[in-house]
Amino acid sequence: MKRLHLVFGGELVDPGSTEFRNPDDLHVVGFFPDYQSAYDAWKAEAQRTVDNAHMRYFIAHIHRLLDEGQEGSSTEQLG
């Protein structure tokens, strides 16, 4: 079973938060079929932007949003 992951990032308002300074400028690195490839992409972007303390990259577990059988899934609440 493939587990889809999204790697994205951008500049934060404050390095201690997860609020993006300008959500319109988010950098979508891509979608990945497994955690390891998503992690590798995340690490490359994090290292590329290491000199900017406000830049952060994240891995979103898209497969969890799509799993209608999982309690608390956001698609579960739509139906």
Ordered by start, the domain boundaries in the chain are 5-73
Question: Residue 69 has what pLDDT?
Answer: 60
pLDDT category at 70 given cuts 50, 70, 90 is low
Q: Report the CATH architecture of 5-73.
A: 2-Layer Sandwich (3.30)
Q: Report whether pLDDT(32) > 90.
A: yes
Residues of the chain above pLDDT 70, percent? 81
Q: What average pLDDT does the structure give for the chain?
A: 85
Position of tokens 């201690």?
A: 16
Which residue is listed with tokens 């992690």?
39
